[in-house]
A and B are shown apart, each in its own frame.
Chain A
Amino acid sequence: MSLAHINIFLAFTVSLMGLLMYRSHLMSSLLCLEGMMLSLFVMATMVVLNTHFTLASMMPIILLVFAACEAALGLSLLVMVSNTYGVDHVQNLNLLQC
């Protein structure tokens, strides 16, 4: 693989580890999710442009749109938690009371 590909792949892996290992704030997890989406976008755009696969040019855009929706959903969940507890510490999410 070329150096640029390895760079982006490394960015993705770092974000993934940040998503799965975090201390207390739910917000950091959401931010890493955004980072993953960003690296995926860049990777997809680079591959499409390098291989001149013009027909697949809309794939990164669609990926971005769905990432935006998902970010909104994640933020609304964060707001709900913050409304109940005041802070978004993850240890608060241990009561599965519906």
Chain B
Amino acid sequence: MNMFSSLMLASLSVLTLPIMSSILNTHKNSTYPHHVKNIISYAFITSLIPTMMFIHSGQETIISNWHWMTIQTLKLSLSFKLDYFSMIFVPVALFVTWSIMEFSLWYMHSDPYITRFFKYLLTFLITMMILVTANNLFQLFIGWEGVGIMSFLLIGWWYGRTDANTAALQAILYNRIGDIGFIMAMAWFLFNANTWDLQQIFMLDPNLTNLPLLGLLLAATGKSAQFGLHPWLPSAMEGPTPVSALLHSSTMVVAGVFLLIRFHPLMENNKTIQSLTLCLGAITTLFTAICALTQNDIKKIIAFSTSSQLGLMIVTIGINQPYLAFLHICTHAFFKAMLFMCSGSIIHSLNDEQDIRKMGGLFNAMPFTTTSLIIGSLALTGMPFLTGFYSKDLIIETANTSYTNAWALLMTLIATSLTAVYSTRIIFFALLGQPRFLPLTTINENNPFLINSIKRLLIGSIFAGFFISNNIYPTTIPEMTMPIYMKLTALTVTILGFTLALELSLITQNLKLEHPTNMFKFSNLLGYYPTIMHRLPPLASLSMSQKSASLLLDSIWLENILPKSISQFQMKTSILISTQKGQIKLYFLSFLITLTLSMLLFNLHE
């Protein structure tokens, strides 16, 4: 028999071994990080076999192991869905994680808590695998919350820094707002489909799916940093670079997109939700690309680039192409992780300098990093026949030839050209020109961990698109015939962006620095969105609640309405109308005399 399910379960459970080794206290060794890296590479190789079997036979598997509990009519069990999406995502994620683990052996070498760091990264990977292979919404939610918690712990890794703590808390808060949508979707499915299993939901095919799909869209907005819930992603760059490379470029932020892809049978029947996702993705991709244009921190530019690509994935779901979005997820992981690793290499070499205005001239000083940065940027912008081309160009072509919202399409095209612009900006400022860093340099990229990890992802960035596209089975048929100007649209706008950015950078290099214009300030301060949204709503809600709770309820209703108003009224009126002076003895005496006189009069009167 085929060993499909057993090999897949083996590769997934092998990942949990280092976590359990803390029982045996082997995690106090100094070679624990190496063990973790080796285990992930073994898991990757083991998971390649079921993937190849799946590609050969096209046979999907659902493994339902363990009956957890039954709540009245709902049966919850541990079930893994190994279909097209999870079978291809698991090897890609394990490969990228393997390279990132090797990279962080170099990057976090001098950290005293490096074993804890690796344990956190491994726990994150396990929860991500749970999310991806989940067959029911409950297990998906477990993975969902797990990646959120690990993101919090890893962003706040250097917890002595207040900015890191605020950024971690910001990530949790924004993700929580998305979780409200997730729970709403779960509740709707519980009430209307009596299940949390994906198979039963798709079989029942409910008619009015607006509400749960809105909930899932909100969850994707929170987790994948779409417009409205996006500020946590650039703030999450406070974490170490391996964290940024793993979580916030390849794996965690695609969880929201993955959720929407999982529900594509429901989404293809609902035109309203498709238009909503399309517009949301278009706004996100354009807005974050505009914000990326004037940032000065290299990690923030790459973070905004991630956000923009996530918007592009959401746009792809909006034009009813879930398989293309999934392809973009897989290819994007390669070059985005590599871009983050190159930026980590630059940062460490320049002694923790992250500002691109203080870099320069690294073209000759760090040749390997330069090569991988340029290839990664070209792959990102969709240079023909590198990795990004196979997904991004297909997306733009399909969007051009589909019956869709023209405004959203225009936004996406502009954002594509802006991708080229900010990539040129990174290359220009970090690599070209004369050095702007301090003369006493510690530039060293000779560590084999660094070189091997980046080299692996480099080969992936060049060939993975071709490799994956040729080996997957055909799903939705891409558009084959279109006019030549549509076919060349993506290429044209990208080249336009490159030339424009290069010209502008070269021309303005020696000009006097002007005062920032309003447009510059808009772009640099992230469209004023965090400034407004982090101050105004909390102030408004807190002051309103204070006024209503303590002023209105306590002071007015309980104190002032009956007791104090009565006493005030009585005092005022009695002062107003009394004319007495308080000579009590005189009053008593006059009373007595009156009484005596009247008694005498009545009794002695004949």
Task: Say how far A76's CB is from chain B's closest CB, in angstroms.
Answer: 17
- B588's partner among A19, A93, A94, A96 (CB-CB below 8 A) is A19
- B574's partner among A20, A21, A90, A98 (CB-CB below 8 A) is A98
Inter-chain contact B592/A95, CB cutoff 8 Å? no
Task: Say how far A21's CB is from chain B's closest CB, in angstroms.
Answer: 6
Inter-chain contact B585/A90, CB cutoff 8 Å? yes
- Known contacts A20-B591, A98-B574, A98-B575; A93 and B582 CB within 8 A of each other: yes
Inter-chain contact B582/A94, CB cutoff 8 Å? yes
Q: Please, what's the 1-or-0 string for A58-98, where 1 marks a CB less than 8 Å from any CB in chain B?
A: 00000000000000000000000000000000100111101
Chain B residues with CB under 8 A of A17: 592
Inter-chain contact A94/B583, CB cutoff 8 Å? yes
Chain B residues with CB under 8 A of A98: 570-571, 574-575
* Complex Cα gap A95–B585 (Å): 14
Inter-chain contact A96/B584, CB cutoff 8 Å? no
Give the total of B residues in contact with A, Cβ under 8 Å.
Answer: 16
* Complex Cα gap A20–B586 (Å): 9
Query: For window 566-580 of chain B, which residues contact chain A by CB distance below 8 Å?
Result: 570-571, 574-575, 578, 580
Chain B residues with CB under 8 A of A90: 584-585
* Complex Cα gap A94–B580 (Å): 9
Inter-chain contact A21/B588, CB cutoff 8 Å? yes
Give the total of A residues in contact with B, Cβ under 8 Å.
Answer: 12
Task: Say how far B586's CB is from chain A's closest CB, in angstroms.
Answer: 11
Chain B residues with CB under 8 A of A20: 588-589, 591-592
* Complex Cα gap A90–B580 (Å): 15
Chain B residues with CB under 8 A of A16: 592, 595
- A93's partner among B570, B571, B584, B592 (CB-CB below 8 A) is B584
* Complex Cα gap A17–B599 (Å): 14
* Complex Cα gap A30–B592 (Å): 16
User: Cβ of B581 < 8 Å from any Cβ of A?
Assistant: yes
* Complex Cα gap A81–B297 (Å): 77
Inter-chain contact A95/B588, CB cutoff 8 Å? no
* Complex Cα gap A20–B587 (Å): 9
* Complex Cα gap A21–B584 (Å): 10
Task: Say how far A89's CB is from chain B's closest CB, in angstroms.
Answer: 11
Chain B residues with CB under 8 A of A21: 585, 588-589, 592
The 5 closest A-B pairs by CB, nearest first: A94-B582, A20-B592, A20-B588, A98-B571, A93-B582
8 inter-chain pairs at a CB distance below 8 angstroms, sorted by A residue, are: A16-B592, A16-B595, A22-B588, A90-B584, A95-B582, A96-B581, A98-B571, A98-B575
Listed in ascending order, the chain A residues whose CB lies under 8 Å from chain B are 16-17, 19-22, 90, 93-96, 98
Q: With A21-B585, A21-B588, A98-B570 given, can you name 12 additional A-B contacts, CB distance below 8 Å?
A: A16-B592, A17-B592, A20-B589, A20-B591, A22-B588, A90-B584, A90-B585, A95-B582, A96-B578, A96-B580, A96-B582, A98-B574
